[in-house]
A and B are shown apart, each in its own frame.
Chain A
């Protein structure tokens, strides 16, 4: 998610090399942007599916045990409230828009357009910050702390854009470093670890259910068509399980933190050598590869579902 603030560093990198947008940087910068977008999208997919997975699991369990299904029971399964999830999705949206803004800046969109978008986004940052600070419960403490650390930095950069003091903003961002950014990613990782583990539980359960259904129908001498349908469900459950092994959003987020660090290290190197540049490019390649892997797996899970 902090592709956004990380992008400050990317832009700073471009500015550090004379605002010339040297072609050598275009590929790694573009890779970082695309990889971060993939990770962000995967993270949002997990947040969006979090409560639905719990609800569906509860309903399946009640049906299997021939027990009542109640709305209180459904509400009781939710890991985060709808407000908690909405606030997180809005924070991700803000950062996505911010990243896009910086990417446009790095790719020569006119400053007047940037100013206008920055002004609009600044208002969004304020609104989302207020909303996040109103969230209650200890479950939100880590997320609130991390957001309160990184959103002001974004606000400052946006204000500088609005005031046409872009280089000053970028220098400040570089001096701040990637720690608030990576702390924010860590807060997301905690949510995502829980989401992934609960989903793993459900996907694993579906494997067993599919096999049990086939065995039951086999013993009751069901017709070939029913057995074929059961076998297809087993095959789908196994595909799902296999895809799930590489669908951990925390792997993508962790790769983003490493890419952030590589970006910061490179931009703070006074006179980067060819080796420094090569390491920077390799780090972006590694991030892009992991992001692609996670994105593909998450997409496959969505399609299978």
Chain B
């Protein structure tokens, strides 16, 4: 996986979050939780977009592989609005994985 692939992957999750938030009622307590997660994930994508990393290093590829695995695990259930606990849990897991990935490659100071 390249740095650009990681940026795209985060983008895919962001658009999925938007589909879910655009399908909830305004008074749904999960709406704000999702919006908060979106703000942080958006910030991660922005920070990753502002810098250039050597994605050919072993360190990058190892960290990227972990992120890819988490991403694969949450596919399919990320927009299941009938099970919001799972949706929020999966997005939180993905966000944590992105944070770990970015910390590993030095993208988060």
Contacts and interface: CB of A to CB of B under 8 A. Distances in A.
Interface string A134-156: 00001101100000000000000
Interface stretch (B6-14, B67-75, B86-94, B97-105): B6-14
Given A193-B4, A193-B7, A198-B45, 13 more contacts: A57-B42, A61-B39, A65-B39, A138-B52, A197-B7, A201-B14, A204-B14, A204-B15, A207-B22, A208-B18, A211-B23, A212-B21, A219-B26
Interface of A: 54, 57, 61, 65, 77, 79, 138-139, 141-142, 190, 193-194, 197-198, 200-201, 204-205, 207-208, 211-212, 215-216, 219
17 contacts: A54-B46, A57-B42, A61-B42, A139-B51, A194-B4, A194-B7, A194-B49, A201-B15, A201-B42, A201-B45, A204-B15, A205-B18, A207-B18, A208-B18, A208-B21, A208-B22, A212-B22
Interface residues of B, number: 24
- Determine the main DSSP class of A at the interface with B: helix
Contacts, number: 64
A79 B22 contact: no
A243 B49 CA distance: 23
B89 to A, nearest CB: 20
Interface string B32-54: 00000011001001100111100
A143 B22 CA distance: 39
B49 A212 contact: no
B18 A204 contact: yes
Nearest to A65: B39
Contacts of B14: 201, 204-205
A212 B46 contact: no
Residue picked from A77, A141, A201, most chain B C-beta under 10 Å: A201
